[in-house]
Amino acid sequence: MLQNKRILLIVSGGIAAYKCLELIRRLREHGAAVRCVLTKAATEFVTPLSLSALSGDRVYGDLFSLTDEHEMGHIQLSRDADLLVVVPATANILARMAQGIADDVATTVLLATDKKVMVAPSMNVRMWEHAATTANLSVLRQRDIQVLGPNSGDMACGEFGEGRMVEPDEILRAIQDHFLDDGRLTGLKALVTSGPTYEPIDPVRYIANRSSGKQGHAIATALAGMGAETTLVTGPTQQRNPSGVDVISIETAREMLKACENALPTDIAVCAAAVSDWRAEESADKKIKKEGDPPSLSLTENPDILRTLSNAGNDRPQLVVGFAAETGDVIAKAVPKRERKGCDWIVANDVSTGTDTFGGDTNQVHLITATSTESWPEMSKQDVAVALARKIADQFNRPAAAE
């Protein structure tokens, strides 16, 4: 199933570099074409000759080699690939990627590419746990770079902990999964809501909530990644706009509803936004002064976007998915919510204090349909998004690429 797929393997200088030899062999067994780029440090661990012999292609490495640039410029190198995989990814190359440094062929290609990138980190546990590495990884994840592992285990340096590179088999599986999902939702239109809403009290104050938009943005990314023509209607967040997605930024629930209605008709709607249930009945034109007694705030209910989309008559998306953020008794509360809202599926999660769901990087959800409840293990929000997008593709009878 990797027939005719072109993988650009970027090898950086870590002790796990030898594992890329096995990976190349396995990729080629599955029909992929593999081309390798080595950093200078990588050549201390594996030789260009062995990589060249296994990949059946020449190996690239020196940015300033005129022959390389003549035969295959670094831009062309990145454009020619279907997927870029950094194996192993050292703390150093992850830092250079996060900063956008392009000081050798490997990092130049990574900066020049518009293709999907995966990284398989490999480093000492202390380097892995360092705040700098954590921050770099967070930047890379936000740019939709897929991070594979690392695992925990004995390290070459004699220590034990997280930082061991995932095995070649696991990397192969991630690569296969990527191509499996390629284009599964092509031809379908999707609408996703994400983030909080801001409901003004006066020009400086507002009612909002702790939603980070991470889950909603990840869902838009996953749907677009599988080929759906995707519109993301989002409240104010710190998230980067996903590439290939039409992003509409709004502040209030009423603006969100209007933007959603304008985006119809769509085949799919996923309402992941944490819409404020109430807004101030009247928002003041001028900043409310602190003098005198505290003002009293009169609230009124906001429109329910999920319910509106679920009951949109002829314009109703074929599949409407809502979220239910609950504190305790999650499933028991979410099941009737699905019926109340009139949506097809509800993704329910626990946002109790201590779960870190709001703003965190992971999520543990239950997928509730008319006929079933599935509890998924705790996963990164990206993985939840991909799993949900796969369910959606199944629902539309869009089979994965033949294995």
* Strand-strand pairing, 246-249 and 199-200: unpaired
Q: Which of 157, 260, 271, 343 is catalytic?
A: 157
What SS3 class is residue 289? Answer: coil
CB of 60 to ligand C5P, least distance (A): 47
CB of 222 to ligand C5P, least distance (A): 17
CB of 214 to ligand C5P, least distance (A): 14
* Pairwise CA distance, residues 243 & 239, whole Å: 12
Q: Which residues bind ligand C5P (CB under 6 A)?
A: 193, 253, 271, 273, 275, 277, 302, 304-306, 322-324
* Pairwise CA distance, residues 337 & 386, whole Å: 24
Q: Select 193 or 212, whichever has its Cβ closest to ligand C5P.
A: 193
What SS3 class is residue 83? Answer: strand
Q: Select 125 or 233, whichever has its Cβ closest to ligand C5P.
A: 233
* Dihedral in degrees, nearest 10, Cα atoms 46, 48, 54, 57: 150
Q: Select 158 or 313, whichever has its Cβ closest to ligand C5P.
A: 313
* Position 235, amino acid: G
CB of 333 to ligand C5P, least distance (A): 8
Taking the mean position of all CA atoms in its chain, how far away is CA 335? 27
Closest residue by beta carbon to ligand C5P: 305
CB of 347 to ligand C5P, least distance (A): 8
Q: Select 219 or 305, whichever has its Cβ closest to ligand C5P.
A: 305
Other CB atoms within 10 A of residue 191 CB: 30
Q: Select 68 or 277, whichever has its Cβ closest to ligand C5P.
A: 277
DSSP 314: G
CB of 237 to ligand C5P, least distance (A): 14
* Catalytic site includes residue 20: no
Q: How far is CA 88 from CA 15, 129, 397, in A?
A: 8, 17, 37
Q: Which two tokens stand for residue 377?
A: 């293990």
Q: Are 363 and 387 in contact (CB under 8 A)?
A: no
Q: Which two tokens stand for residue 249?
A: 């930024």
26: left (phi over 0), alpha (psi -120 to 50) or beta: alpha
Q: Select 268 or 306, whichever has its Cβ closest to ligand C5P.
A: 306
Q: Are 365 and 196 in contact (CB under 8 A)?
A: no
Q: Which residues are catalytic?
A: 157
